[in-house]
């Protein structure tokens, strides 16, 4: 049995290599910090049992956040071999970690990834690089074969002779060596490595060395030499790279390319809004002109699938059951309960798969890192950072998996807040609810209501974050935001197919398990009394009617104070899709929202579904990441937002429907008042003066950052 | 001068990185080592986050971090 770890900088394709070696489907994306936990899998290769471990990305062996410590510990505690994955287009920064691995004395094989992305004018000599570093170097791309593992096994059998790291001679290593020699031996840390880490002020190694106070005093003068160490390493790297790379042709002049527009100070945010809006139109857009419906790919796929389910599954099944003279409750359970419930969710398969597809496209292309950059200023004002964007964007897919990605945030309060706010990002499981209710009540304006839901969710999270930043207990520390923007990459055809297939499969499995079970249970509970008597076509007197009826008064002020709505929201705690499958199993949307103000009730119900407590999976993940106390705190925030905003939307809706004139007037007055207040506060705010000290003309003392030469 | 004060279309050399320990180490690990060439690429729409070129890559950073990086105009 051999342990091989994949280590390297963030976003160099470690997980892609892992997936290819082990035939897995771990989440990948073109941004930093996708992987937050180590993943291992056993494979067999040429008769050997290999355990391959994928580690979170690190820049150095002196880490900052939790997930980076996982990688450091894995490298320190062993593994027989480290495959150091590098990005061919970013070797300088990648080799910085490689040098540290060699300083530590690890057995390393360098896998130079994405060699296909090197421009044609660039030649990279792998033999020279291998000779200089004294380790095996294997060039790979997306379609690499056995060569990586063959070389890795060879490196295990025949010990490699790492080159002498000459740059270390520039540092005062011997002086420190004398002091800590015995400590390093006792701690089992390679002596030269321990010395370098002392110069870098590495707290972890210093603690391991167990130094006496006298030794500490002797070493005091070597503190704060990290810049010197970094300069020595980078100087060596620049020298190596000038030897192994040969360029022909001219250096590109316009290095920004399309980013000149996408990252333009004024165009960046409008272009981002336009991209998101287009995605929504493609997925959900359907516009009715008289009898003709114009829709995009999402609409037509849904249309075809719903016709298929109705004609090829539901109708034959129900006539078969009628022909077989099945008991009426069995027919009801199967056709209305199970098939009806599952179908109500399943018909949205194309739209949900499309949503995941576009999310993956944003991630894979590298655009999402640009979004993090362009929104960082806004996020900074509310105590978050551009890094939170990744987690929140993932929240549009699935909150439960998204909250895990918050681990990459180094400020603890910021991490907890990001976890708290992620469930407000409307997750994909809520889509069937919006789509089903919208097509019943807001047919033509469907796409706008859906966009509205997303905006309400974002608005609530921004409001909470802004309030949190004003309360000292919830204020985030000001962490430096330093993030690399990856180059744009476009996913291959195979990757697109894999994404669509994987997401469709995951969704169908969810419908086949959670939604299937809930539909059956809800139908049975709603068609049998406590004495197990079948209630026939009506749900009146059933178990669910009594239970949900008892709590439904809570929702009366929101416009949906009936047993069916309450039951739907309760089953939504298991999985959000179940909100709509429950409504369907209980007799359809029309039984939930009734009367003159049905559409106001429907809208308020949508708002409540968007904001109230997320599913159990998300609650569990929140508790695991931030503690049970914080989870309950989040739930309280969610319930408060859900109830208040649903209340406001219902009564606003009612006012609009009954007294349109008054409503419009009230809104006009409120809007004008708000605008006036904003203008007044802007005018009254003390305008900042230039600092007057710096040579360039800055706008304010605060933003200048000038601290004297 | 420091990194917050650099002008577009000019090249600079990093002379030193000092200040807050953790932030410094992050900067050094990301390649902001003394002796490296650096230039301005873009500024974010709001706030003081800026984008710089370093060893052929784009790196975004806030002024809090950028002000720790001292630079001088490149003579090359």
Give the H or E element holding residue A366.
none
The SS3 assignment for A278 reads: helix
Q: Which residues of B touch A264 (CB under 8 A)?
A: 42
Which residues on neighbouring strands pair with residue A247, listed in sequence order?
A: A122
Give which of A435, A292, A412 is closest to A355, Cα–Cα.
A435
pLDDT of residue A437: 92
Cα–Cα distance for residue pair A1/B75, rounded to 1 Å: 56
> How far is residue A414 from each of residues A241, A311, A420, A459, B65, measured CA to CA in Å?
39, 51, 10, 18, 18
Q: Which residues of B touch A57 (CB under 8 A)?
A: none
Query: Any idea what DSSP says for residue B7?
Result: P
pLDDT of residue A661: 84
pTM summary value = 0.84
Nearest CA in chain A to B35: A231
pLDDT of residue A679: 86
Among B47, B64, B70, the strongest candidate for a mutation testing the A interface, having the largest count of A CBs within 10 A, is B47
Taking chain A (709 residues) in consecutive chunks of 10 residues, what is each chunk's mean pLDDT?
A: 92 91 86 82 91 92 82 86 93 94 93 89 92 94 87 88 87 88 90 91 88 88 86 94 84 71 90 92 77 76 84 84 84 84 87 89 90 90 88 90 84 92 94 90 83 94 92 79 88 86 89 88 88 80 87 92 90 90 84 87 95 93 93 96 95 89 86 89 65 60 56
Query: Any idea what DSSP says for residue A267?
Result: T
Q: Which residues of B touch A484 (CB under 8 A)?
A: 30, 57-60
pLDDT of residue A151: 92
Mean pLDDT of B52-61: 91
Q: Which residues of A touch B30 (CB under 8 A)?
A: 59, 93, 482, 484
Centroid of chain to Cα A181: 45
pLDDT of residue A654: 92
pLDDT of residue A709: 42
Residue from the list B17, B30, B64 with its beta carbon closest to the beta carbon of A227? B17
pLDDT of residue A667: 85
pLDDT of residue A308: 87
Cα–Cα distance for residue pair A680/A10, rounded to 1 Å: 46
Q: Indicate yes or no: CB of B33 within 8 angstroms of CB of A227.
A: yes
Whether residue B38 lies within 8 A of chain A, CB to CB, comes out as no
Q: Indicate yes or no: CB of B48 within 8 angstroms of CB of A235.
A: no
pLDDT of residue A102: 94
Q: Indicate yes or no: CB of A263 within 8 angstroms of CB of B62.
A: no
Cα–Cα distance for residue pair A692/A706, rounded to 1 Å: 10
A 218-257: CB under 8 A from B: 224, 226-227, 230-231, 233-235, 255-256
ipTM of the complex: 0.94
Mean pLDDT of B45-58: 88
For residues A190-226, one letter each, b for 16 or more C-beta atoms within 10 angstroms of the residue's C-beta and e for the rest, the string is: ebbbbbbbbbbbbeebbebbebeeebeebbeebeebb
pLDDT of residue A268: 92
Nearest CA in chain B to A223: B21
Q: Indicate yes or no: CB of B4 within 8 angstroms of CB of A704.
A: yes
Question: What string of DSSP letters covers A586-632?
Answer: TT-GGGTS-STTHHHHHHHHHHHHHHS---HHHHHHHHHHH-HHHHH
Cα–Cα distance for residue pair B21/B65, rounded to 1 Å: 11
Q: Indicate yes or no: CB of A96 within 8 angstroms of CB of B62.
A: no
Whether residue A259 lies within 8 A of chain B, CB to CB, comes out as yes
pLDDT of residue A254: 57
Which residues on neighbouring strands pair with residue B57, listed in sequence order?
A: B54
Residue B31 Cα, gap to closest chain A Cα (Å): 6
Nearest CA in chain B to A699: B48
Among A705, A708, A709, the strongest candidate for a mutation testing the B interface, having the largest count of B CBs within 10 A, is A705
**Cβ contacts of A182 within 8 Å, gap of 6 or more:** none
B 39-68: CB under 8 A from A: 41-49, 51, 53, 55-67
Give which of A573, A575, A617 is closest to A401, Cα–Cα.
A617
Q: Which residues of A touch B26 (CB under 8 A)?
A: 59, 64, 480, 482
pLDDT of residue A452: 92
Q: Indicate yes or no: CB of B31 within 8 angstroms of CB of A89.
A: no
Whether residue B73 lies within 8 A of chain A, CB to CB, comes out as no
Hey, CA dihedral for A606, A610, A613, A617, is it positive or negative? positive
Q: Indicate yes or no: CB of A380 within 8 angstroms of CB of B24.
A: no
Among A72, A87, A376, A412, the strongest candidate for a mutation testing the B interface, having the largest count of B CBs within 10 A, is A376
Whether residue A64 lies within 8 A of chain B, CB to CB, comes out as yes
């Amino acid at each position: 049995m051999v342990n091989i770890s994949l280590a390297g900088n963030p976003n160099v394709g470690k997980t892609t290599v892992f997936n290819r070696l082990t035939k897995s489907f771990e989440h990948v994306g073109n941004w930093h910090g996708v992987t937050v936990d180590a993943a291992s899998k056993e494979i067999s290769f040429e008769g050997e049992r290999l355990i391959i471990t994928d580690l979170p990305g690190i820049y150095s062996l002196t880490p900052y956040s939790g997930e980076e410590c996982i990688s450091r510990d894995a490298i320190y505690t062993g593994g027989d071999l480290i495959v150091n994955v590098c990005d061919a287009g970013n070797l300088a920064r990648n080799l910085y970690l490689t040098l540290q691995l060699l300083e530590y004395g690890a057995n390393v094989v360098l896998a130079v990834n994405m060699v296909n992305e090197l421009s044609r004018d660039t030649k990279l000599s792998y033999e020279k690089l291998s000779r200089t570093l004294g380790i095996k170097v294997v060039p790979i791309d997306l379609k690499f074969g056995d060569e990586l593992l063959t070389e890795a096994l060879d490196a295990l059998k025949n010990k490699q002779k790492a080159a002498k790291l000459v740059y270390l001679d520039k540092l005062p290593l011997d002086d420190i060596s004398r002091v800590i020699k015995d400590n390093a031996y006792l701690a089992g840390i390679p002596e030269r490595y321990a010395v370098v880490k002392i110069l870098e002020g590495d707290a972890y190694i210093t603690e391991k060395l167990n130094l006496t106070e006298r030794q500490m005093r002797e070493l005091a003068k070597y503190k704060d030499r990290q810049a010197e160490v970094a300069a020595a390493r980078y100087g060596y790297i620049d020298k190596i790279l000038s030897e192994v790379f040969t360029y022909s042709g001219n250096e590109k002049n316009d290095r920004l390319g399309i980013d000149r527009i996408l990252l333009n100070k004024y165009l960046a945010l409008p272009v981002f809004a336009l991209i998101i809006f287009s995605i929504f139109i493609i997925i959900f857009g359907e516009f009715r002109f008289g009898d003709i419906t114009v829709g995009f790919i999402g609409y037509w796929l849904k249309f075809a699938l719903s016709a298929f389910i109705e004609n090829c599954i539901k109708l034959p099944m129900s006539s078969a059951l009628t022909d077989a003279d099945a008991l009426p409750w069995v027919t009801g359970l199967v056709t209305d309960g199970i098939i009806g419930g599952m179908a109500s969710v399943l018909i949205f398969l194309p739209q949900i798969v499309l949503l995941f597809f576009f999310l993956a496209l944003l991630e894979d292309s590298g655009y999402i890192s640009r979004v993090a950059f362009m929104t960082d200023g806004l996020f900074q004002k509310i105590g978050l950072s551009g890094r939170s964007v990744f987690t929140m964007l993932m929240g549009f897919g699935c909150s439960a998996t998204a909250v895990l990605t918050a681990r990459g945030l180094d400020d603890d309060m910021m991490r907890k807040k990001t976890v708290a706010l992620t469930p407000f990002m409307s997750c994909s499981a809520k889509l069937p609810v919006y789509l089903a209710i919208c097509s019943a009540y807001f047919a033509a304006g469907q796409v706008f209501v859906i966009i509205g839901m997303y905006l309400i969710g974002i608005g609530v999270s921004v409001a909470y974050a802004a309030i949190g930043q004003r309360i000292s207990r919830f204020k985030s520390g000001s962490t430096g935001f330093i993030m690399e923007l990856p180059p744009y990459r476009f996913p291959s055809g195979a990757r697109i197919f894999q994404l669509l297939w994987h997401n469709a499969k995951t969704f169908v499995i969810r419908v086949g398990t959670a939604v299937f079970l809930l539909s059956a249970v809800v139908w049975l509970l709603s068609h049998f009394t406590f004495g197990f008597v079948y209630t026939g076509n009506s749900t009146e007197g059933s178990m669910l009617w009594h239970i949900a009826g008892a709590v439904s008064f809570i929702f009366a002020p929101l416009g949906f104070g009936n047993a069916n709505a309450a039951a739907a929201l309760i089953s939504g705690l298991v999985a959000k899709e179940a909100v709509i499958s429950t409504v369907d199993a209980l007799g359809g949307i029309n039984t939930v929202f009734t009367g003159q103000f049905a559409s106001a009730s429907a809208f308020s119900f949508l708002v409540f579904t968007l904001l109230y407590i997320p599913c159990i999976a998300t609650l569990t993940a929140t508790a695991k990441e931030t503690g049970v106390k914080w989870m309950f705190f989040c739930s309280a925030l969610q319930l408060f937002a859900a109830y208040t905003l649903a209340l406001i939307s219902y009564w606003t809706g009612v006012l609009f429907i009954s007294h349109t004139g008054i409503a419009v007037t009230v809104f006009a007055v409120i809007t004008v008042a708000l605008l006036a207040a904003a203008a007044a506060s802007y005018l009254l705010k003390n305008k900042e003066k230039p600092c007057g000290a710096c040579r360039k003309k800055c706008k304010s003392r605060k933003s200048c950052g000038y601290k004297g030469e | 001068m420091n990194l917050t004060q650099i002008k577009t279309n000019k090249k600079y050399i990093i002379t030193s990185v000092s200040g807050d320990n953790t932030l410094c180490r992050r900067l050094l690990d990301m390649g902001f080592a003394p002796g490296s060439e650096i230039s301005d690429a873009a500024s974010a729409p709001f706030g003081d986050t800026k984008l710089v070129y370093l060893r052929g890559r784009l790196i975004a950073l806030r002024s809090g971090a950028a002000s720790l990086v001292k630079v001088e105009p490149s003579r090359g």
